Amino acid sequence: MKTLENVKPRVYSFGDKQADGNSAMKNLLGGKGANLAEMSALGIPVPPGFTITTEVCTEYKALGQYTVIQMIKEEVEQSIANIESFMGTKFGDMHNPLLVSVRSGARVSMPGMMDTVLNLGMNDEVVLGLAKKTNNEQFAWDSYRRFIQMYGGVVLGMKPASKDDIDPFEEIMEHLKEKRGIELDNEFTVQDLKDLVYDFKSAVKKRTGQDFPTNPWDQLWGAVIAVFNSWNGDRAVYYRNMNGYPAEWGTAVNVQAMVYGNMGDNSGTGVCFTRDAGTGENVFNGEYLINAQGEDVVAGVRTPQQITKLGSQRWAKLAKVEEDQRAIKYPSLEELMPNIFEELNTYQDTLEKHYRDMQDMEFTIQDGKLWILQTRNGKRTGAAMVKIAMDLLKEGMINEKEALLAIEPNKLDELLHPVFDPKALKTASVIAQGLPASPGAATGRIVFFADEAKKYKNSILVRIETSPEDLEGMNIAKGILTARGGMTSHAAVVARGMGKCCISGAGALKINYKKRILNVGETVYQEGDWISLNGSTGNIIEGKVATIEPELSGEFAELMKLSDKYGVMKVRTNADSPKDAKIARNFGAQGIGLTRTEHMFFEQDRIKAMREMILADTVKGRKQALKELLPMQRADFEGIFEAMDGLAVTIRLLDPPLHEFVPHQLATQKELAEEMHISLQAVKNKVAELEEFNPMLGHRGCRLGNTYPEITEMQTRAIVEAALNLKAKGVICKPEIMVPLIGTVKEFEFQEQIIRSTANAIFKERNDSIEYLVGTMIEIPRAALMADKIAEKADFFSFGTNDLTQLTFGYSRDDAGRFLPIYIQKGILKNDPFEILDQEGVGQLVKIGTERGRSTKPDLKVGICGEHGGEPSSVEFCYNTGIDYVSCSPFRVPIARLVSAQAAIKTTL
Ligand code: ADP
Ligand code: MG
Ligand code: MG
C-alpha cells in the first residue's frame, strides 16, 4: 500500500484484508492501531483506515503543528484516497460522502485520554447528500448532531464550565426533550435533529466566538492535533505519572471510515467479551443496542440487550423479566439476528485463539453487515485473571510459563481478602477518600480508641494515626482508618501484615477524640455509627455494605502449585504469632524470615513486666522482670515453631527503642507506679529520660542487647528452651537467631558470644541440644560495606530493607509523609522507596552486601525481610541478585511465590 519509498513511514494503512502494520507494532501504532492492522490482515471486516504513529506525536511536541502537518500531509492524503477507493465514497463530497472517525490510541489503553470523534467530514451540504444517498434523513441528521457534539466537546473545548455544570450540548438536548415530552435520544424527529444542529452550532459560536468548521480537511487536522494535545492533557498526565508511563511514548491517531449503527432497525452497535471478565467463566458475552452509535451501549442512553440467548436469560432472571416478555422486548442478538451472531461468534473465537487471551471487542452492524472496530486483551478481576490463565493452559492455548507470566502479581491480592458485594457498592454513598493502604472490605462501628475496639462485635478503628500501643486494638478491629500517614505509615504496614483492610491519610477527616466525633465536611459521625472501608479503592462509605467471602478457587491453588514448580527463590513470611504463622503456611510460606519479638510484649499481661524491666535501675531488677517475661516468650516461640513444623524460623532479637514501651498517659503511669511501689515522679522521670532526639538512630537494635546483655540472654533462653521442649514432643525446629541493626563486626561478635554461651549453658542443663544459626540483619549501610568481615562470623544475612532504605536515603520513615508525596508528584522521586525497593541506590547495597558476604562465605544464606519482600518488582530484583529467599507478610506470600516463578522464567526467555 505504501507509495513513498525509502522514508520511514509516519502513516500506516489498513483495510481490505491488508495492513502495513501488525499487532507487534504497539509501540509505534498504539494498541488500537496495531490490533486494527492485525485484524485486517487476518481477513476480519475492519473499516479501512490509517494510523499516524506515536512518533509523530513526539515530533509534534518538538516541532509544532504547522511543521508536523506539512510532514505528514502527503501520506495522510494518500491514505484517505485509499479509504475512498475501498469504500467507493469521497471525503467532503456532497453526493457520496466519506465520513471518518478519529480515535486516539496509546500503546497501553488509557482512561482519561481523548474521546473519539465520529462522523467527521459532515457539514450542511454533506448531511443533505448523505440523507439523499441513504434515503434516511433521520440517520443523516442524527449523525450530524452527534458529530457537532463530539467535535465541539473534544476539539473545540465545549466542556461544562464547572464540575457541577452539565455539558452545554446535553443541556440543549434536555431542554428540547422536555419541550417535546420525550425521554430518549432516539425519539427525536428529523425536525428536532435539525433544530439541535442549529442550536449546537449557535452554542459553539457563542462560546468560542468562532463558526463551527465546515471544511472536512480543517475538521480532520483539528481532530488530529487535538488527539496529540490530549496526550499532555491534565487527566492523561496524571494517569501516566501514576503508572510511570513516560511522556516520550506519545499517542497514535487512528482515522477510520465510519460504519453506521444508527441507520435503523437493521443496524446496531455493541461490545463483547470472549470470556466473563468478572468470573473468568468461558462464556461469550456482551451487550448491544439496535439503531445506535459508538459509546451508546457503554454510556447507558438506553438499556442495552444481551448478545447471547444464555446471557439474555440470565439477565432476565436478575431483572425479573418473564421469558415471553424477554424474548419480545429484549431479545438477544443470537435470536434477533442469528446470521450476524454466528459471524460475530466466529470472529470472537478466531481472535481469542489468535491472541491467546480473553478479548474485549467492539462491533457495529450497518444495515445487516457486521464490522469489527476494536479488539484488545480484556481487563478482568483478579479471580477472572487466574481462572482464564489456568483454563487457557488446560485448553492447550498457552503453556505453563505463559500462564504464569499472564498473572499480574498485585491482582492476586483481590483473592486474599473479603470483598464488598459489587451490587451493594453500586448504591453505596462515599463520604471521603484516603489511600488504599491495605486492600479488603470492612464494615463496622466507629471507635476512636484502640482499647475500645472490642466494645462492638464489628468495629472500625478511626485514628488520626496509630502507634505500636494500638496493636491489639488494630487486630480486633475489622478495619483501620487514619486521617494522617501514607502507604508505609504504622497503620498501613501493620494492617497489611495482618491482612486487614486499611485506609490511611484520609485528609478530609476531622477527628475529635475528646468529643468522640468525626467530621467530614458538614456531616458528623459519632462513636458507634456504622461505616465501611473499601481498602482497594480508598473509598470511605457511610453505613453498612454487604461483603462476600473471597473464593480461593481451585484454579488459584493450581496456580500456586505451578509457581513453585518454576520458582527457585524461596518465599518465607514475616509472622509474630502462631496465628500468622498458620495463615502464612496455608498460603505456602516456606519458613519464617522475620519474627519480631517486640510485638509480643505489647499484649496486656506482658507490657507490665516489660515496663518493669525498663524501669528497673539495676541489672538485678532487670533480670527479675525478664524472668517474668521468659515463660511468656518461650510459649510464644513454642506456638510458632509448632505451627511451622520443621520449617526454618528466623527470630529477631529486641529491636525498637525502649521508649516505645513505656506508658505516655498519666493514668497508665499512675497504675505502673502503684504496681511497682515507686513514685509517679520516678516513672515520669524514667519516661523523660528515655526520650531521644532521633529514636530511629538511637538506643535500639543490637545496641540494646549490647548494653543490656541480660535481654539477649533471656530471649536466647526462650528460643532455645522452646526448641528443646518441642524436640521432646517430636517437633523438629531449627531456629535462626537474628541480631538486628549491626554496623560493626564487634557489635555482632558481642551478641553472638552471649547467644552461644547461653545456648551452651542450656544444653548442659538439659543434657540435650538442638541445631541453630546465629546471623544478622544487614540494614545499616556500613554493614553492607563490611559484609565480607561480618560473613566470617555470621551464619546468615537478612537485608532489612526498611531500615536500609531509611538510612541510605536519610529519610525518617515516620516523617517522610511530609515530603514524599510532594517529591513523587514533582517527579523528584519516581515512587515511594519504602514501598518499592530503590534498585539503583539501596539495591547496590544489597548487591554489594551479598557479593562481599559470599566472598568470604560462599554458601552464605541471604534473605530479605521488610515490606519490599512482597512487592513484585523488588522480589524480581532479589531473584536477579541471587538472594535465597524473600520474606513478606502472610497475605503477600502467594504474590511473592508467583513473582519468584516469573523472575526465574524471565531469565530463560
Ligand atoms: P475508546 O478508546 O474510548 O474505546 P474508540 O476509539 O474505541 O474509543 O471509539 C469510541 C466508540 O466509537 C466505540 O464504540 C467505537 O466502536 C466507535 N467507533 C470508533 N470508530 C468508529 C467507526 N469508524 N465507525 C463506527 N464506530 C466507530
Ligand atoms: Mg474503544
Ligand atoms: Mg530494622
* pLDDT, position 503: 92
Q: How far is the CA of 354 from the centre of ligand 1 (A)?
A: 22
Closest-CA residue to 274 (of 372, 404, 420, 421): 372
Question: What integer pLDDT is reported at residue 552 of this predicted model?
Answer: 60
List of domains in the chain: 1-122+217-258 (3.30.1490.20), 124-213 (1.20.80.30), 268-380 (3.30.470.20), 418-548 (3.50.30.10), 567-657+692-906 (3.20.20.60)
Which pTM does this prediction carry? 0.82
Distance CA 100, CA 363 (A): 16
Q: Reply yes or no on whether the pLDDT at 111 is more than 90.
A: no
Higher pLDDT, 439 or 88: 88
Range in 82-91, 124-133, 393-402, 489-498 with the lowest mean pLDDT: 489-498
Ligand 1 mean position to 294 CA, how many Å?
5
Cα of 374 from ligand 1 centre, angstroms: 8
Query: Mean pLDDT across the chain, nearest whole number?
Result: 92
Say whether pLDDT at 342 is over 80: yes
Question: For residue range 674-719, what is the model confidence (pLDDT) as tens digits?
Answer: 988 889 999 999 999 999 999 899 999 999 999 999 999 999 999 9
Tell me the mean pLDDT in the region 77-105.
96
Give the nearest ligand 1 atom to 254 CA.
6
**Which three cell numbers mark 494?**
501493620
What is the residue with the minimal CA distance to atom 14 of ligand 1? 294
pLDDT band, residue 579 (cuts 50/70/90): confident
Q: Which atom of ligand 1 is nearest to the CA of 256?
A: 23
Residue ranges with strand state E in 107-207: 117-120
Higher pLDDT, 419 or 232: 232
The predicted pLDDT at position 411 comes to 85
Residue 279 has pLDDT above 90, yes or no: no
- Residue whose CA lies nearest to ligand 1 atom number 13: 294
| Helix, strand and coil in the chain, % to nearest 5 | 50, 15, 30
Confidence band (pLDDT; 50, 70, 90) for 164?
Answer: low
For residue 297, the model assigns a pLDDT of: 74
Query: Is residue 484 scored above 90 in pLDDT?
Result: no
Q: What is the mean pLDDT of residues 207-226?
A: 96
Strand ranges (E), 186-336: 252-257, 268-273, 285-290, 305-306
- Which has more pLDDT, 417 or 748? 748
More confident residue, 8 or 228: 228
Q: What is the pLDDT of residue 637?
A: 96
Contact 478, 444 (CB under 8 A): yes
pLDDT at 488 exceeding the cut of 60: no
The neighbourhood of ligand 2, an ion, using CB within 5 A, equals 374
Active-site annotation, residues: 490, 865
What is the per-residue pLDDT for 550? 63
Distance from Cα 821 to the centre of ligand 1, integer Å: 37
Neighbouring residues of 109: CB distance < 8 A, sequence distance ≥ 6: 31, 32, 376
User: Given a cut of 60, is residue 112 above it in pLDDT?
Assistant: no
Ranges 381-390, 619-628, 755-764, most confident: 755-764
**Is pLDDT above 80 for 843?**
yes
pLDDT of 665 higher than 90:
no
Nearest-10 Cα torsion for 850, 854, 856, 857: 120
**If you search the block for the grid coordinates 494515626, which residue do you land on?**
465
- Name beta bridge partners: 377: 359
86 pLDDT tier (thresholds 50, 70, 90): very high
pLDDT bin (cut points 50, 70, 90) of residue 496 is: low
Question: For position 895, what pLDDT does the model report?
Answer: 95
- Find the residues whose C-beta lies inside 6 A of ligand 1: 47, 101, 103, 116, 118, 256-259, 294-295, 362, 364, 373-374
* pLDDT for the residue numbered 590: 95
The per-residue pLDDT for 549 is 58
Between CA 41 and CA 358 the distance in angstroms is 20
Q: What pLDDT is attached to residue 5?
A: 55
